[in-house]
Amino acid sequence: MDYAAALEQKLGLKGISYRYNLSKEELFHAAIENDRGRVTVDGPDDAQKAYATKLGVNGPLVYYTDPTCTGRPVQDTFGVAWPEIDGTIWWKKDYKRFDPAKYEGLLQRVVEHVNARGATMFVKDVYCGADASYAVPYRFVGEYATHALFAHNMFPKDVAGVADEDKKRWTMLNVPSFRCDPERDGTASERAVIMDFKNQIGLVVGRADYCGVVKKTMFTVMNFLLPEMNEMSMHCSANVGAKGDCAILFGLSGTGKTTLSADPDRKLIGDDEHAWTKNGISNFEDGCYAKLIDLNKEAEPVIAAALSMPGTLIENVPALAGRSLADTDPQEFDLSDGSVTENTRFSYPLSCNPNVMEGAKGPHPETIVLLTADAFGVLPPISVLEGKDVMYHFVSGFTAKLAGTEVGITEPQAAFSACFGAPFMAQKPPVYARLLAEKMEQQNARCILLNTGWSGGRHGVGKRISIGHTRALLDAALAGELDDGKVEFETHPVFNLKMPKSCPGVPAEILNPRNTWEDKTAYDAQAEQLRDMFRKNFDEKGFAGLGIEPVM
């Protein structure tokens, strides 16, 4: 069945002018000509949203979202609570139930809206997953050519050997011009992002035009589907060393997930979303969606070079004062300008990176890294985790927000995000923890907790652990130099963590964090305070009742 007939059968779309699987060059021009909406708070709904730079089609497309949607609209994200899946989904404040009857009425109204407009819709057929054994065909259908270009950048286009494609296909209907009525439609506002696992539909309506919605919606879907196949979906980066040794790095924003995986001596599989299946590690994606705010071009040369490459996509970076975008070279942008949003972004294909694994796939990992950035300054720089420790720290997903990063935060704040990606984890945390433990045992993989945070005192008093020491610790772990029998260990009396007493290239005195504090009593008090935060999070999330053992 061709795509138009399939869309009429699945959604009821009729009388639509489709632009199907356009090239990146065609989408570039179409976005500038076609994409219209609001770009300033008091602005009109027909403003131009996409622009060329001085490089024209040989450079990036610059795109501006609605000013109320410069990041994922978390409070407007739902799953349809069909009875057959209601007990499986991990419902939470940033992934809430949506009434099935309300959803069916809303979907019908959105389709009627599109049909009545005789709209032009951009269709892009891609896949979510680089491995045919689990890859899901993904059909983007939307009003903006920019979003179709983003889908092209971010997802694999040709995955040979996927069986039953029509049966497995997910379809996203993305309609920014539709406005929800919360009272009538059951939404929280005039916009909504809704996942329908029964009918394999992602519905995006209203002012929800942040490009990340096109990506993270499918990541949430994969986090539901993979465990159903007894395979592991992960919010992590992954790379492979010269000896074929694979590592995966879990971590929340600001912990070093992208930086540490971008190692010149190791080939990158990907920096964000992966599967661990019977075939090894594979990327869900074919691109990267990097933060641009305060980008250090010397430290991130791949991203810097890609800023000038054709078919890439810059999101919400402001124009230079007194300069038109058409007269601006991409390298001239002020990447420290957060006047539109601190969450400026850049989408580019993996092929922009010269050091990637062919096919975005690799072998089973030998090392699992759980990253944290402890701004309280009390966790060890590195700890070796085993058994129940792995599951505890994986479902805790701890890092710390810094003073000054958000209004009202005047001292470090603990942040816990289960499985290092709670908003996207459609199933309950123990499901992923069990899969991780099983796969680690099958492959005899080691696990470390790597702290990229502070030492010698909390943020503002101590110093951040040097990137040189962090890389030396990581390199030693990857090489097996911290395995049992290779070094001596001691146990942290508060956190019950196994700490090495020595590591090549790292001063021994920093390995026990208490040694780095002048005031040992203050250290003990701060360590106990953080331990109590872990315990409180464990109790509030009900992890004990879900089969996770407390370890501190």
Active site members:
72, 216, 235, 253, 257-258, 272, 345
- What is the distance between the alpha carbons of residues 468 and 447, in angstroms, rounded to a whole number? 21
* Angle ∠(150,155,157) on CA atoms, nearest 5: 110
359 vs 100, 138, 282, 370, 403, CA distance in Å?
39, 18, 8, 25, 41
C-alpha distances in angstroms, 486 versus 109, 322, 478?
Answer: 65, 61, 13
- The encoded tokens of residue 461 equal 């008093």
Residues 145, 18: contact at Cβ < 8 Å? no
SS3 at position 360: helix
Residue 172: C-alpha distances to residues 61, 200, 246, 380 (Å): 22, 9, 33, 44
Count other Cβ atoms within 10 Å, centred on residue 264.
Answer: 6
Under 8 Å between Cβ of 371 and 394: no
221: number of Cβ within 10 Å: 24
Longest dimension (CA), the chain: 73
User: In 187-202, which positions are buried (b, 16+ CB within 10 angstroms) versus exposed (e)?
Assistant: bbebbbbbbbbeebbb
Q: How far apart are CA 35 and CA 286, in angstroms?
A: 24
Strand ranges in 258-364 using DSSP code E only, listed in sequence order: 267-270, 273-277, 280-283, 287-291, 313-315, 345-349, 361-362
- In angstroms, rounded to a whole number, what is the distance separating the alpha carbons of residues 417 and 435? 18
Burial class of residue 26, CB neighbours in 10 A (0-12, 13-18, 19+): middle
Contact yes or no for 246/364 (Cβ under 8 A): yes
Residues 6+ apart with CB under 8 A from 170: 128, 136, 137, 138, 139, 200, 201, 202, 218, 221
Question: Do 451 and 359 contact (CB within 8 A), yes or no?
Answer: no
How many Cβ atoms from other residues are within 10 Å of residue 339's Cβ?
A: 10
Strand partners, 314: 62, 346
Distance CA 219, CA 221 (A): 5
- Burial class from Cβ neighbours inside 10 Å (0-12, 13-18, 19+) for residue 118 reads exposed
Q: Amino acid letter at 212?
A: G
Q: Which two tokens stand for residue 54?
A: 């001085």
DSSP annotation of 317 reads: P
